[in-house]
Every structure is written in C-alpha cells, then in structure tokens.
Structure 1
Amino acid sequence: MPGKKYRLICFDADGTLFDYNRAEEWALKNTFLEHNLAFSGKTIETYRKINKSLWDRLEQGNIKIERLKIERFTKTFPGLSEKEALELSKTYLEHLKKTGFLISGAEETIRALHGKYKLILLTNGLAKTQEGRLRASGLYAYFDAVITSEEAGCAKPDERIFRMALSIAKVISRESLMVGDNLTADIKGALMAGMDACWYNPLYEEKNKTEEYLIIKNLKELLNFLL
C-alpha cells in the first residue's frame, strides 16, 4: 500500500486520534456533579452501554442525532424528563468539547503527515464538540477540513459522507485513504466509496491479516507506509 499514490488521508476522531473513554468519563463526572446526579462506575457503565447502542442505531440510520442526545440520558436516568435530559446534554457537550486527550502517537503522526497530504477529520460526532476537542488537542491547524455527520446529514458508513471528503479535497477515491478504528463505520464505509482503508486496531493479531485493508496496532506505524 504505497503512500505515494495518495493525496488525501482521512482520519476518524474518537478511538483513532482522541482518547474518547478518558474524555467521556471526565465530561460525565463534571456534568453529573454539576446537576447533582450520582457519579459512579456503575452509572458510567450503564451510560456507555446505552450510548453505544444509540450510536449503532445512528450508523444504521435508525435514529436522529437530536434524539440520541436526549435518549442516552433519559435511559440512563429513567426518572429524567426530556427537558432535563436536554439540559444535561448541553452541559455534557460543553464539558466534552474542552477535552483534547489524544491517543498515543496521534500528535506525532499528524504533524509528520501535515504538508505532505491533505488531511480531513471525518467523524460521526457533533460539529461544535469535535471542533472544540480538535482545537483543545492542538491539532486543529494541521487539518484542511472537519466533516461531521451532524453537518453532512448522513453518518458513516454511508458512502455519501466519504464522497463529501473527496469533493472537498478535490481528489478521486483511489487517491485517498481512510484511517479509523471502527470496522463497519470507517473501514467498510470507505471501501464502499472506493477509498483505501487502514484499520487502527491496537488488539490486532497477525492471524487476522487481510489483503483488503491495512491493519496497524500503533498510529505511528502508518508513517512506515506513507513517508
């Protein structure tokens, strides 16, 4: 997979560049304390299961982002009204956008690729939240564009969002590579759009090797293929 054929590298955000688990726990803790709600390991576990289920539904096109923002809190706290959940959501997103926690190797990788490729952040996250986190991380200036499902009106793996990135970068699909941690949303979505794909999978085992897409365990491994 020679890097010289690429002009555009797209990166997923959460779980690929951002340490989402750390950011989520920090934001939830501050949110719950601010709203006088119980914060515990059990509450976090419950929230995460519900949140993942809702994001899976979003990727399948079975729920809208505005409903997701409410239901992840009404389902975690059954006695909460939708109005209260919406206020909780606003507070949570305000805290979350302040987090710039990065996965190991993310900063070095993006800095090394900057100026050699067009870089686009392609995320199913919320626009203001993801832009805020990218700024907080110090990586905002290295990206040519940020595309969110909220603004695009469709979510990965819908190939329309990938084609939006190609259009913005003014490249054709075979000149682009998508890097992400989600095998369905990032990898299969990119392949359906005609792009090459790189699965960031820290738990990768050699027996899982495939010719269909590249697999890396550490983000800096990507530089061996692209530089």
Structure 2
Amino acid sequence: MDGQAVKAILFDLDNTLIETSRAGGRAIRKTSGLLKTTLGLDDNTINSICDKFKQKLLQESFDPSAGRSIDEVRVDHWEKSIQETVGSESPPSLAAQCYYLWKNSRLEVLSLSTDVRKLLKQLRCEYKLLLLTNGETQTQTEKVKKVGCKEFFDAIVIGGEHVEQKPFLSIFTLCFDMLQVEARDCIVVGDSLDTDIQGGLNAKVRATVWISSAGGARPDGSVTPDYTIPTVLDLPHILQQLK
C-alpha cells in the first residue's frame, strides 16, 4: 500500500449492508408452511420443492427484452419446482401465492440495522459513498427502497441497469466517474470474492475489503482481498490503517 488518502467507498448491498441470506431463509420457511398446508406433503417433499426453487434462482438468467417481468419468471420457478417434485399440476395460482409470499416475507425483514445506519452517517462525513449492487433492476430497486438507502449514499448503481455488472471494469469506471474520483482513491467493500473483490482488483482500487462472517476461509483458487473482516461494522479499523 502506498499510503495515499481514501476519498470514496464503494459498498455492496446484499449480505454486506443487509442480511439478505437470513431474510431469504425466513421467506422460504414461510413459503414451506403454505405448501404444506395446501398440498399436504411431508417435510422432505416440501424441502425438495424449495431447494429446486433456490437452485433456479441461482441459475437465473433474466432477459428483460423477452417480454416477461421478473415476477412472472419467478412465479414460473415455483410452478416448475412443484411440478418437478410432485409430478402433477398444482392448484391454480399456488405458484403465484408461493412467489409473492416468499418475495414479501423477504422484503419485510430486510433493513439497515441501527449500527449500520450510524456507520454510514459517520463515514459520509469524511468519504464519498456509493452503493453498487449486482442484480435484476426491479428486485434490487425494491430492496434499496425498502431499506431506505438513498439518504446514506452520494450515488446508487444497480447492475441490472447496465450492460455489464461486477466484476467488469466498465461498471466500476462508471462509479468512479459519478463520484469524480480515481480508482486509486477508492476502496471496495463486499461479501463476494467473485464479484466485489475481483471487481475491485480489476479496477485497481486502493484496497478491497471482504466481508466474511464465516471466518475468512477462501476457496482454492479464489482471489485474495487486501483485508478481511467479519462485519461491515469493523470497517473503521481498516480505514484507520489506510490513512
């Protein structure tokens, strides 16, 4: 590290500032209850349906030009997950009920904690802050609005609105231009080695900070962040080292 001053911080959203995974787990549990009540299936079968849905989310490739909304696509995920597991048609509208229960249950518990809000307010007194989140535009916009991000950031960039998302250089260059800073003035903070940390390295930022609640163990062959912390609340310690 060359000791130059940090002027700006680029934050990831999901599982960095908000606990999306935990909210998703709660949403799946609520949806499991609906499936069990409606279909009268055993727990293993219900779990199989939900696992298939989660796998379809992971493999999702959404094309907004295809004429279907993200809501319609994800209703179809539930419909296919039920059919693939049970082998028969589900009751009319069940897939839609599952999707909207899952979606709304997840959104209603997403929030910036009091401590995270306090941290962002403090940091914004000294640094420019930008939220850079990958994902489909509607989905991420709903999260950003629900948790009230706007007041804490100088700019918000949602990957789905652009040709390339993290870790591609183009979206980081866009962020630097929006903040009127150079890459060397910035640090990138996020929970994904493949998108946040790799993207920061691609962009040649001042430093990359990996949020790893699991203790910092990295898969073989993964990129190496400059710093690793268990929670974003520990970021001030890293910033102090970078001064």
TM-score by length of 1: 0.73
Amino acid at match of 1:121: L
Quickly say closer, same or farther: Cα 1:206–1:133, change in 2 above 3 A.
closer
Q: Name stretches of at least 5 consecutive residues in structure 2 with no aligned partner.
A: 65-69, 84-88
Contact 2:216 2:228 in 1 (8 A): no
1:197 maps onto 2:203 in alignment: no
Partner of 2:142: 132
SS in 2 for 1:120: strand
1:14 maps onto 2:14 in alignment: yes
1:136 offset after TM fit, Å? 2.9
Matches within 5 A, 1:1-227: 5-27=5-27, 42=47, 43-52=49-58, 54=59, 64=63, 69=74, 72-73=77-78, 75-78=80-83, 93=103, 96-102=106-112, 105-195=115-205, 196-205=207-216, 213-226=226-239
Contact 2:210 2:225 in 1 (8 A): no
Contact 1:3 1:225 in 2 (8 A): no
1:167 offset after TM fit, Å? 1.3
**Residues 63-86 of structure 1, C-alpha deviations (whole Å, 9 max, x = no match):** 647697576445523468xx9978
1:51 offset after TM fit, Å? 2.0
SS in 2 for 1:101: coil
Q: Name stretches of at least 5 consecutive residues in structure 1 with no aligned partner.
A: none
1:148 offset after TM fit, Å? 1.1
Task: Name the CA distance, whole Å, in 1 between partners of 2:115 and 2:197.
Answer: 20
1:117 offset after TM fit, Å? 1.2
Number of equivalent positions? 218
Amino acid at match of 1:204: G
Task: Name the CA distance, whole Å, in 2 between partners of 1:146 and 1:97.
Answer: 19
1:160 offset after TM fit, Å? 1.4
Task: Name the CA distance, whole Å, in 2 between partners of 1:2 and 1:218.
Answer: 25
The sequence identity of aligned pairs, in percent, is 23
Amino acid at match of 1:224: H
1:226 offset after TM fit, Å? 2.1
Deviates more, 1:26-35 or 1:177-186: 26-35
1:22 offset after TM fit, Å? 2.9
RMSD: 3.8
SS in 2 for 1:5: coil
SS in 2 for 1:122: strand
Task: Name the CA distance, whole Å, in 1 between partners of 2:105 and 2:5.
Answer: 40
Task: Name the CA distance, whole Å, in 2 between partners of 1:178 and 1:151.
Answer: 20
Amino acid at match of 2:144: L
Contact 1:97 1:129 in 2 (8 A): no
Deviates more, 1:37-46 or 1:127-136: 37-46
Amino acid at match of 1:219: V
Contact 2:20 2:110 in 1 (8 A): no
Task: Name the CA distance, whole Å, in 2 between partners of 1:158 and 1:74.
Answer: 33
SS in 2 for 1:77: helix
SS in 1 for 2:81: coil
Contact 1:70 1:86 in 2 (8 A): yes
1:102 offset after TM fit, Å? 4.2
Amino acid at match of 2:56: I
Quickly say closer, same or farther: Cα 1:70–1:224, change in 2 above 3 A.
same
